[in-house]
């Protein structure tokens, strides 16, 4: 082998070693980033769960302290939901006939 060829092979070997080191560093960084993101996501999920739990506890405490008002609010929500569901439901043709029959029976 000539001197130039051996220097070229040595440079290629050094380049390959450096490339492997860079890839290893990137892989280690990716693993670190993945673990950090996983921990943050877990913390976020835990904080959301604790917030929901706290809100539910506050609502339960309010219902315990104000049962009459809570019952009225629940009734109002039920009435509103019923009206909404009736208004979006299909209209029956028989209801009009039943109304006319009821009017004629009152007259007779």
Q: What digits encode the pLDDT tens for the residues 42-62?
A: 878 888 888 888 888 898 898
Contact 26, 34 (CB under 8 A): no
**pLDDT digit string, tens, across residues 69-81:** 989 998 999 999 9
User: Which residue pairs, CB below 8 angstroms and at least 24 apart, start in 4-10?
Assistant: none
Question: d(Cα 60, Cα 33) in Å, to the nearest integer?
Answer: 40
pTM: 0.41
């Amino acid at each position: 082998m000539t001197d130039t060829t051996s220097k070229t092979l040595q440079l290629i070997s050094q380049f390959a070693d450096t490339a492997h080191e860079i890839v290893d560093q990137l892989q280690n960084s990716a693993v670190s980033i993945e673990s950090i993101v996983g921990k943050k996501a877990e913390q976020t999920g835990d904080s959301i769960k604790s917030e929901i739990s706290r809100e539910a506890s506050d609502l339960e405490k309010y219902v315990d302290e104000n049962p009459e008002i809570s019952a009225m609010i629940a009734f109002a929500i039920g009435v509103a939901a019923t009206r909404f569901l009736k208004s979006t439901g299909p209209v029956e043709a028989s209801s009009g006939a039943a109304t006319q029959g009821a009017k004629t029976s009152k007259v007779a």
